[in-house]
């Protein structure tokens, strides 16, 4: 099983700042990496797939980068709506696995 | 409009069975790639299984032999049949579109396995 490790577990930022969330895979997953946003009581929402392609309707302030084992989700200028939970997921090898999540909180 | 409506979640005892439903509209279950993803209370996400439009399925090891998936084309509905349920199967189960990344999610249904 490929283990996905996200860091930090909690990220404290202020609105308007730039946030950088990291995701590391225990072995190479190429570019088979997705990012999701989950708000309390809701299903996750796909943000990024293919490591860097924004899903339909996702604002341009969200961007993804990386390949192999190191990946980054960047939110260029935080809005209050962005302070929630984020997960990465690899789909290079079955069983697909998720990171444990990064909670983005308001400082 | 694309929509999925999930149902079937319940409180069951260990060893019992349960079937979850995922009724689709706006797309055909028979010709789509669909998966089930679960989330234990307060925990992270776990991809449980995937069914390809051709019918091939992939199950995670922890549910192999206990969970099966089926489709009813006349009702445009996907089913998850869960047997011999364990406490560790307790989770919100999401029906999702996608065989690798999940681009559309159902609202989820809660399965609680407890004595």
Per-residue tokens: B57:
């399925």
- What does the pLDDT average to over A13-23? 98
Q: Which of B44, B61, B106 sits opposite A87 (nearest CB)?
A: B44
Residue pairs spanning A and B at CB distance below 8 A: 46
Closest CA–CA distance from residue A96 to any residue of chain B (Å): 6
- Cβ distance of A49 and B103 shorter than 8 Å: yes
Do you find a cis peptide bond into A70, omega within 30 degrees of 0? no
Cβ proximity of B41 and B90 under 8 Å: yes
Per-residue tokens: B97:
């579109």
Q: Which 3 state secondary structure label does DSSP give A83?
A: coil
Chain A residue nearest residue B102, CA to CA: A46
C-alpha A94 chain-centroid distance: 20
- What does the pLDDT average to over B11-35? 96
Instruction: Give me the percent of chain A exceeding a pLDDT of 70.
Output: 100
Chain A residue nearest residue B45, CA to CA: A98
Give B114: exposed, middle or buried? Use CB within 10 Å, 0-12, 13-18, 19+.
exposed
Question: What's the maximum distance between 2 C-alpha atoms anywhere in chain A?
Answer: 38
- What does the pLDDT average to over B51-71? 94
Q: How far apart, in whole angstroms, are the C-alpha atoms of residue B101 and residue A97?
A: 11
- What does the pLDDT average to over B54-61? 93
Is some CB atom of chain B closer than 8 A to the CB atom of A86?
no
Cβ proximity of B96 and B24 under 8 Å: no
Q: B interface mutation test: which of A51, A64, A94, A96 has the most B CBs within 10 A?
A: A96
pLDDT at B54 over 90: no
Q: How far apart, in whole angstroms, are the C-alpha atoms of residue A7 and residue A72?
A: 10
All residues of chain A having their beta carbon less than 8 Å from the beta carbon of residue B102 are 34, 36, 44, 46
Confidence category of residue B53, pLDDT binned at 50, 70, 90: confident
- Cβ distance of A95 and B47 shorter than 8 Å: yes
In the beta sheet, which residues pair with residue A98?
A89
B87: nearest Cα among B8, B2, B18, B15 = B15
- Please provide the average confidence, as pLDDT, over all residues in chain A: 97
Q: Which of A43, A96, A97 sits opposite B106 (nearest CB)?
A: A43
- What does the pLDDT average to over A55-59? 97
- What does the pLDDT average to over A66-71? 98
Closest CA–CA distance from residue A46 to any residue of chain B (Å): 6
């Amino acid at each position: 099983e490929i283990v996905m490790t996200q860091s930090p577990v909690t990220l404290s930022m202020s609105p308007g700042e730039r946030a950088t969330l990291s995701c590391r895979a225990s072995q190479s997953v190429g570019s088979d990496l997705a990012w999701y946003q989950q708000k309390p009581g809701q299903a996750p929402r796909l943000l990024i797939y293919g490591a860097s392609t924004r899903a339909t309707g996702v604002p341009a302030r969200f961007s993804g980068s990386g390949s192999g084992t190191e990946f980054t989700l960047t939110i260029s200028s935080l809005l209050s709506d962005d302070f929630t939970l984020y997960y990465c997921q690899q789909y290079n090898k079955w069983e697909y696995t998720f990171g444990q999540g990064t909670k983005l909180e308001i400082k | 409009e694309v929509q999925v409506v999930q149902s079937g979640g319940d409180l069951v005892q260990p060893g019992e069975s349960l079937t979850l439903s995922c009724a689709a509209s706006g797309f055909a279950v028979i010709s789509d790639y669909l998966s089930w993803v679960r989330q234990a209370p307060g925990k992270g996400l776990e991809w449980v299984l995937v069914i390809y439009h051709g019918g091939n399925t992939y199950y995670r090891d922890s549910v192999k032999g206990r969970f099966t998936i089926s489709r009813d084309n006349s009702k445009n509905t996907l089913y998850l049949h869960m047997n011999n349920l364990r406490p560790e199967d307790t989770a919100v189960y999401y029906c999702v579109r996608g065989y690798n990344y999940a681009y559309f999610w159902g609202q989820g249904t809660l399965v609680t396995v407890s004595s």
